[in-house]
Structure 1
Amino acid sequence: LIENLVNKAVAALPISNSGFDIFLNPADVEVLRNVHAERNEPLDPAWRLIEDAAISRGGCRINSDHSRIDEQLETRIQHVVAEMLGETMVPQQAGDDDVNGAGLSGDQ
């Protein structure tokens, strides 16, 4: 599942000249490496896996040269709840250190 999430998130980003920084829970990094080792497949050389204990299992953040994507579980849940409530998701003003690309509009 984590491999599928990372592949879809990377595919959603424009091509990067310097690759992708992929932030994952340390346990998910281990799972991803083990899956590729069992298949005798190297990880994509454009992927730089970065362990981040602050990210819940099953989620990730990905940074490239000019793009960021936040696929953390908490962010995905916010999107689902907003959609169920009929609210529109609006981008937050992202600073250089802020990789959370979405927020809820209206009262929170």
Structure 2
Amino acid sequence: MSAFKDSLAPIPARDAKPFSSWSLPQFCVAETALISDQDAREEAVKAPVIDEQALQALRDKAYQEGFTQGEREGFAQGEQKAKEQAEQALNSRLSSLQSLMQALFEPIAEQDQQIENALLDLLQQLSKAVIRRELKMDSSQILPLLREALSLLPIGADNLHLWVSAQDFAAVKAFRDHHNEHWRICEDPDLLPGGFRLESQHSRIDATIEARLEQAFAQIAERQREQRLHPPATDLSISLSPINEEGKPWASDAT
């Protein structure tokens, strides 16, 4: 007892030794390792077991899905490409057909123009022949035309000269004498009956049949020229669109 008391006696500072902290030892390490092993065994028991056949089935399914998707995308791309190629081929053929039709129609249009001009010349010659024959039978219309021409001259016009055909000379001379006029009448063998030329010092009136025919046919030719420059719109319109194998037009956008 006295020894214990002696151990509790104070120790002088000079006799004290260095000291360090001391911790209690860990007693849960083994237990933690034991729990981890137990959890691993339980997880292993819970994990599903996949055999080789099921794994192959999953592989086949994934392959089939990928193949189907690729086939769908490839079909859409192929359809679009086929459409573009068909349109290019059709446009090329349409261009060739248009060039061919133009090459065929240009000579036809030129020939039509030549025929049209020939018919116009023929009509002019026939008209002159018919009018000449009719006027030889009766050229009395020259007198009303002469009155109208004289009324167009300025008042007080003098030095008048009148050229007429030999057939109309006597009738025109009688008309002049009846009205006590003093114009000079001359025969022109090249004039058709029913026409005349009247000239004064400052005026000239060409009322020959030839001049009137030329004016009428010039108007016809001008109308024909206007029709060629501005042809009427066609009443037939054909739309050429690319078609697919089913005979239906391609859609504007690929589906």
TM-score (norm 2): 0.29
Q: How many angstroms apart in 2 are the aligned matches of 1:24 and 1:16?
A: 22
Identify if the C-alpha distance between structure 1 residues 12 and 67 changes in structure 2 by more than 3 Å, giving closer, same or farther.
same
Q: Answer with 1 or 2: which has the greater Rg.
A: 2
Which 4+ residue blocks in structure 1 deviate beyond 6 angstroms?
none
Name the Cα RMSD after superposition. 2.3
Q: Where does residue 212 of structure 2 map in the other structure?
A: 76
Identify if the C-alpha distance between structure 1 residues 17 and 69 changes in structure 2 by more than 3 Å, giving closer, same or farther.
closer
Q: CA deviation at 1:14?
A: 2.2
Q: CA deviation at 1:13?
A: 2.4
| Larger relative strand fraction | 1
User: Is the counterpart of residue 54 in structure 1 residue 194 in structure 2?
Assistant: no
Q: How many angstroms apart in 1 are the aligned matches of 2:154 and 2:164?
A: 20
Q: Where does residue 202 of structure 2 map in the other structure?
A: 66
Q: CA deviation at 1:19?
A: 4.0
| Larger relative helix fraction | 2
Name the % identity. Answer: 28
Q: Which moved more, 1:17-26 or 1:70-79?
A: 17-26
User: Is the counterpart of residue 29 in structure 1 residue 169 in structure 2?
Assistant: yes
| Count of matched residue pairs | 83
Q: Where does residue 142 of structure 2 map in the other structure?
A: 2
Q: SS of the counterpart of 1:58?
A: coil
Letter in 1 for 2:205: I
Letter in 1 for 2:213: I
Q: How many angstroms apart in 1 are the aligned matches of 2:180 and 2:142?
A: 14
Q: SS of the counterpart of 1:10?
A: helix
Select the structure with the greater relative contact order (CA < 8 A; seq sep ≥ 6): 1
Q: CA contact under 8 A between 1:25 and 1:52: conserved in structure 2?
A: yes
Letter in 2 for 1:58: G
Identify if the C-alpha distance between structure 1 residues 15 and 6 changes in structure 2 by more than 3 Å, giving closer, same or farther.
same
Q: How many angstroms apart in 1 are the aligned matches of 2:179 and 2:190?
A: 23
Q: SS of the counterpart of 1:83?
A: helix
Q: How many angstroms apart in 2 are the aligned matches of 1:33 and 1:22?
A: 10
Equivalent residues in 2 for 1:93-108, closer than 5 Å: none
Give the unaligned 5+ runs of structure 2: 1-140, 224-255
Q: Where does residue 227 of structure 2 map in the other structure?
A: none
Q: CA deviation at 1:32?
A: 2.7
Q: CA contact under 8 A between 1:16 and 1:64: conserved in structure 2?
A: no
TM-score (norm 1): 0.63
User: Is the counterpart of residue 15 in structure 1 residue 155 in structure 2?
Assistant: yes
Letter in 2 for 1:9: A
Q: CA deviation at 1:43?
A: 3.6
Identify if the C-alpha distance between structure 1 residues 32 and 83 changes in structure 2 by more than 3 Å, giving closer, same or farther.
same
Q: How many angstroms apart in 2 are the aligned matches of 1:44 and 1:51?
A: 20
Identify if the C-alpha distance between structure 1 residues 55 and 44 changes in structure 2 by more than 3 Å, giving closer, same or farther.
farther
Letter in 1 for 2:172: L
Identify if the C-alpha distance between structure 1 residues 43 and 49 changes in structure 2 by more than 3 Å, giving closer, same or farther.
farther
